[in-house]
Amino acid sequence: MKKMKKMKKMKKKTNKKMNNTEKICCAAIKRIEELRAENEKLKEKANEFARKTIELADDLIKSERQLEQHRWIPVSERLPEDEILIDVVIEISLVSGKKCHRRICDVLRAEKGVYPPSCNIIFWKYVNWKPIILPKGE
């Protein structure tokens, strides 16, 4: 009889242990599923971030190209190609010894005869230029 009671007690303990083990396993399985779902969400966010990063890099490259097209180019770096529209900046030396810079939208206006003698210009030179980029269709 005592043996039976001992056996029943052991069985209860074993059942309790099994119940605890089952609970731990179920909790672990549930947590693994939660982590997998969270991992999928993070993968989607990472992919979206990568797509946006690539788009921004493409936009940056386009912006740099446009900036390069519209920057003032020193004549010491290179001269413009023939027969393209350009803006120029000239440096003017005055009789007083002062120097000033002027932007000219039409290179033909930069001829020496454009400035009257009252301007006291003794020398001028081209300093910078940039192409005039017209909107498409014009």
- The pLDDT of residue 113 is 47
Nearest Cα to Cα of residue 75 among 94, 92, 93, 88: 88
pLDDT tens-digit readout, 27-78: 899 999 999 999 999 999 999 999 999 999 999 999 998 888 788 889 899 8
Lowest-confidence segment of 102-106, 114-118, 119-123 by average pLDDT: 114-118
Most confident of 79-88, 106-115, 117-126: 79-88
Q: Where are the domains of the chain?
A: 1-70, 73-131
Largest CA-CA distance found in the chain, in angstroms, rounded: 133
CA distance 65 to 78: 18
Burial (CB < 10 A; 0-12, 13-18, 19+), residue 73, is middle
Angle at 7 between CA 24 and CA 27, to 5 degrees: 5
